[in-house]
Amino acid sequence: MSRVSIQLFGQFCVQRNEQLLSGFESNKVQELFCYLLLHQQHALSREFLASLLWPDNTTDQSRKKLRQTLWHLRSALGSQNEPVHDRLLLVESDRIKMNTEADLLLDVAVFERAFNFVQGIPGRELDAQKVQFLQNALHLYRGPLLEGCYSAWCLYERERFRNIYLALLDKLMDYCEGHLDYDAGLLYGMRLISCDRARERTHRRLMRLHYLNGDRAAALHQYEMCIAALDEELGVKPSKRTVALYKQIMTDQLVEPQPTLPTIESHFALELSAFPQIEMLGHLTQLQKVLADLQKQVQQSIQQMEQTFNENLQTLSPKPLR
């Protein structure tokens, strides 16, 4: 089975074995294909798809347009020339769905998988492997989903993926601050602001990163930019947290963070050769202390339970007859 690569972020593009496929010039062909790809786990009825893509047409008109668009889509994919089990589209009399067994590389699927992979993990607690995974996923976001489409369903999905993009940037920004990589954190922050100028949380982080990077003037200028953005975009003033941060920077009272240390789990995940011997000895000594404290707590708990058990046993024991 040949591999099909599909790009839905930015400029729409479909390739089969790295060869660009033609026949996708129609906006409706792109829209139909995009919707099927985003819902590839479901078999969708023709009636539903017709009403979704042509809501202002009569039922007969919308079904006719769906048949025509579907024919163009299948022709562009070359589905008619493939065995049924190799086809990317599985078309029945009343339903259409994607073949989930097909060799398909979809940018939005990889992008969303990366987001789900780090859900619930604070940015500064990510390990190097997860950070690389997120960075690779960000490269896939070449622009809004299916540019040029303004259907209600597409606008919703476009905003959802945009929010995922911002969340990934925010997580990487947090990682960089926790690991004292201020230059990289500033770059992620600039990308965030370029997408959402009035994102106050990002302005605060940029203020912190500029200051921690030794540029107090840039931090104060970021505050002025925050004030202007909030006023022009939302008509509001900065929050108390933002003002408090500004005052800390003005008076040089911002506390510099300590670098985030690897967790105990990450010690076991990495090979010993990754650390110098002296540093590894320090980590092992620290781990030994943690385990010793834990053992002491467990021993105390056991003694307390034994004492309670003995006291209860004495209470329940029958008293001797006189």
pLDDT above 70 as % of the chain: 80
Classify domain 108-250 at the CATH topology level. 1.25.40
More confident residue, 175 or 2: 175
Query: Cα separation of 167 and 246, whole Å?
Result: 24
pLDDT above 90 as % of the chain: 70
pLDDT tens, position by position, 155-199? 999 999 999 999 999 999 999 999 999 999 999 999 999 999 999
Query: Cα separation of 240 and 199, whole Å?
Result: 15
CA nearest neighbour of 25 among 136, 148, 133: 148
Query: Cα separation of 249 and 207, whole Å?
Result: 8
Q: What is the pTM (predicted TM-score) of this model? A: 0.76
Query: Is CATH 1.20.1250.20 correct for 4-106?
Result: no
CA nearest neighbour of 115 among 137, 92, 145: 137
pLDDT tens, position by position, 133-161? 999 999 999 999 999 899 999 999 999 99
pLDDT tens, position by position, 12-41? 999 998 899 999 999 999 999 999 999 999
CA nearest neighbour of 3 among 111, 102, 83, 137: 102
* Paired sense of beta strands 89-91 and 19-20, if any: unpaired
The end-to-end CA distance of the chain, in Å, is 92
